[in-house]
Structure 1
Amino acid sequence: MLGIVHLSTFIVGAILIVLLPGPNSLYLLAIASKEGIRAGYAAALGIITGDSILILATVLGAASILHTYPFTFVALKVVGASYLGYLGIKLLIASVHTWQKIHTDPDVNTVKMSKNDKMQSPFRTALTISLLNPKAILFFLSFFVQFVDEKASSPALSFLVLAIIVQMISFSYLSTLIFSGRKLAGYFSSHYRLSSVAIFSVGCLFLAFGLKLAMSSI
């Protein structure tokens, strides 16, 4: 059908891959718990847009360019790792600010972020996280190509259909994270130490993701 083989296997594999924790899903969960559903969906739109651009780049041959010109991969890797590290440091600083509020204002009823603590433009941040991951292009190519019939009359159409399926699965999962994050916000607003520890943990994970990307190879 449309040059696609083993569609049910692809769907199961796509679900499992989408469920794997990564910087995008962690960022969305954090932003939804801090700034609400609207900001969460802005971040989700950034993730979907970024992934769509990477899928399109894959279809147009970006993967072969990364292989042919390794310095391109290295440059993207350095920038991506640096950006993830930057976000991780911002989250660590935010966790310290949250912890300090416990001692400076123990009677406060809600944890409010200052303007400096807020992540600017959830859409732009999520989009940047997606695009600064050159490994994603290679992943999309290696995963998608397994389910495209080599005799397909229009492989691009097959890639497009597979991409739409992945994005539908991704959007459903991101929506679940958004509403989960909103519920967590209500809990964290009355448990300041736990909130600080959670923010600190996510910051450390972002630093780990950045380090992992920096040490990766094609």
Structure 2
Amino acid sequence: MLAYETVIAFVVASTLLSLAPGPDNIFVLMQSVLHGRRAGIVVTLGLCTGLLGHTLAVTLGVSAIFQVSTWAFTALKLIGAAYLIYLAWGAFKASAEELPLTEQPVLSRWSLYKRGILMSSTNPKLAIFFMAFLPQFADPDRGEISFQLMQLGGLFLLVGFVVMSLFALLSGTIKSWLRDSERGQSVINKLAGTVFLGLALKLLMTER
């Protein structure tokens, strides 16, 4: 089972990362603006469904790597840390002008749901992120790694669903804020970049 302090740290990190403007929450936001809040919720459900596949892949893959060799674990750790540092660099240099607040084509709810699934399940960057992010919060001394990773994946899905649903429900206000508040965007991006850097350092210090 996950420690209480681990759950708190994981939820805080997941919330900050989910709030940072990105393709997924921007897509949710725009569909909500164009087609109503329910459309945004449907897209969110699709995105979260796609994340289930990533959670399962990480659970199976990381559990195997933990058991295979120190070399494989070290390689995974270095790759994951490098990717997190890359994400931090992108977050720090992101600007308000880069947010793609453009209109999307009209889609049915079923199409929106499928689009959400495809956007998350076929995103290799998301797969790498999950591989680098989830294992940092698992502790081999607290039981089966695979069970802990499934718990963490479930928590991430819950946090992501809540945050993106809020984007959908507050679509009009959030769209105006994202478009007009360059300082607000900068603060969120810097927070996300700081979290990414912290996670990279934590991953580098993790021992098998």
Whether TM-score is above 0.5 comes out as: yes
Q: Which runs of 5+ in 2 are unaligned?
A: 32-39, 105-117
Counterparts of 1:67-82 in structure 2, within 5 Å, are 70-82=74-86
Structure 1: gaps of 5 or more residues: 1-6, 99-110, 116-120, 149-154
- 1:152 maps to which residue? none
Code of the aligned partner of 1:139: F
Structure in which a larger fraction of residues adopt helix = 2
1:164/1:185 CA distance change after superposition, 3 Å: same
TM-score (norm 1): 0.57
Change (3 A) 1:64 1:33: farther
Whole-angstrom distance in 2 between the partners of 1:60 and 1:69: 10
Query: 8 Å contact 1:18–1:173 — kept in the other structure?
Result: no
Per-residue CA deviations over 1:91-138 (Å, capped at 9, x if unaligned) read x23x1357xxxxxxxxxxxx94379xxxxx74115334323x1x6324
RMSD: 4.0
Q: Match for residue 134 of structure 2?
A: 136
One-letter code of the match for 2:137?
F
Equivalent positions of 1:1-218 (< 5 A) are 10=2, 16-22=8-14, 24-26=17-19, 27=22, 29=25, 32-35=28-31, 36-62=40-66, 65=69, 70-86=74-90, 89=93, 92-93=94-95, 95-96=96-97, 112-113=101-102, 122-123=119-120, 124=123, 125-131=125-131, 133=132, 136-140=134-138, 142=139, 145-146=141-142, 148=143, 159-160=146-147, 164-191=150-177, 192-194=179-181, 196-216=182-202, 217-218=204-205
Instruction: Give, in whole Å, the separation in 1 of the partners of 2:153 and 2:91.
Output: 25
- Paired residues of 1:88 and 1:203 also in contact (CA < 8 A): yes
Aligned amino acid, residue 102 of structure 2: M
* 8 Å CA contact 2:134, 2:152 repeated in 1: no
Query: 1-side partners of 2:84 and 2:183: how far apart?
Result: 25
* Aligned positions, number: 176
Percent pairwise identity: 8
CA distance in 1, matches of 2:91, 2:103: 16
Q: Specify whether residues 66 and 24 from structure 1 end up closer, same or farther in structure 2 by C-alpha distance, changes over 3 A only.
A: farther
Letter in 1 for 2:65: G
Counterpart in the other structure of 1:101: none
- 1:63–1:137: 8 Å Cα contact kept in structure 2? no
TM-score of the two chains, using structure 2 as the length reference: 0.59
Q: Alpha carbons of 1:45 and 1:11: their partners in 2 closer, same or farther (altered >3 Å)?
A: farther
Summarize the Cα distance change of 1:201–1:129 in structure 2 as closer, same or farther, 3 Å threshold: farther
